[in-house]
Structure 1
Amino acid sequence: MRGKEVYRHAVARMTDSVRTVLNRAGLDVQDIDRFVPHQANLRILRTVATDLGLHIDRCATHVETAGNTGAASIPLALAAGHANRALRPGDRVLLTAFGGGLTWGSCLLTWPALPPTAEPPHHREESAS
């Protein structure tokens, strides 16, 4: 694959897709509480957020700790955002992805009231007794 071309294509398509969804919903990017992009790499998601005018603090990410988890990246970021309470009931959450076959898409949802969940398990060293 041609990395630079794929990178530019991913950024352009994700950004355009987000703008289309927001336009159809009659919203502006500033109306979004959380942005959850596909977590292929931090460079792509930072560029998309910057191009949209979204501060990186509004992005729910986990790529820094989990790496590229493919199709599971958005669900994992949502689960982590719920567990650490970064996602609150009523939040407007914007999802966008770019993936296999050079496909892309975005959607807007309102985060539901869900029962609290425990933090995801962390690796612990077991001590010998």
Structure 2
Amino acid sequence: MELNFIDKMKREINISLVDDDINAFYNGNKIGELTFDYVEKDLGYGDHVEHIPRLHCMQVDSNFRKAGIASKMMELAVEYHGNYFIRPKLNAVGGRDKECYEYYTPEGKALIESCIRNGILKDDPTEGFDE
């Protein structure tokens, strides 16, 4: 899976699926990524365990932010992983003992809220990391 698009700053950006992760490139250099891992969930069917994708980390180089790149990356992530991958609750709080998949930075929270407003992600009040 791959797509090329022109960002808000008129740069040609390549976004591609590498393994289960989404990477963004500009002139062959990696400028952003959405990384995923999998969590085992017992769905209550006896010994059947489902592997559910979890958004582990997201970042875009500071010189490329606010240009629509992360939103396009999220579109490709939804196309590949589906809309209900595990992600932190919007009100999750970070801290010294927290992992990056348990909360958002202010920029990350703004991205997720924008993706929900624009219909890229579904707003599921039961979403979130809960182990």
Larger % of strand: which? 2
User: As a proportion of its length, which structure holds more helix?
Assistant: 1
Bigger relative contact order, structure 1 or 2 (CA pairs below 8 A, ≥6 apart): 1
Same fold (TM over 0.5): no
Q: TM-score, normalised by structure 1?
A: 0.30
